[in-house]
Amino acid sequence: MSEVIEVPSQAELDRHFSAMGDSVDLINAIVAGTRMISDSVNEKKDCVKRNVDHLELMVAKGWFDSFDLSAVNQAIAVGTAYLVNP
């Protein structure tokens, strides 16, 4: 028996993609030093980790074939590198 995978409506996909954009922006800003400036390194790492995890989860769903995920994939790479060496 195969599992039925529900794909969200286009409006829902657009909302998810917008939320992914927010994660991309936040990761990039933290890495660039323009967000969470006064927070500790651990707080920044926790935030970047949560947002990288979110992006990886959403990409893994396979819903975004018609979307340009280059910024998302770049943010995952940048965020992952930051977690190793901030």
- Residue 80 domain-assigned (yes or no): yes
State the Cα–Cα distance between residues 2 and 5, nearest whole angstrom.
9
For residue 4, is it within any domain? no
CB 44 within 8 A of CB 30: yes
Query: What is the reported pTM?
Result: 0.90
Q: How many domains does the chain have?
A: 1
Identify whether 5 is part of a domain: no
Query: Tens digit of pLDDT for each residue in 41-69?
Result: 999 999 999 999 999 999 999 999 899 99
Question: Per-residue pLDDT tens for 18-27?
Answer: 999 999 999 9
Q: Is residue 68 situated within a structural domain?
A: yes
In-domain check, residue 72: yes
Q: Flag whether 69 is in a domain.
A: yes
Give domain status of residue 1, yes or no: no
Q: Which domain holds residue 79?
A: 10-84
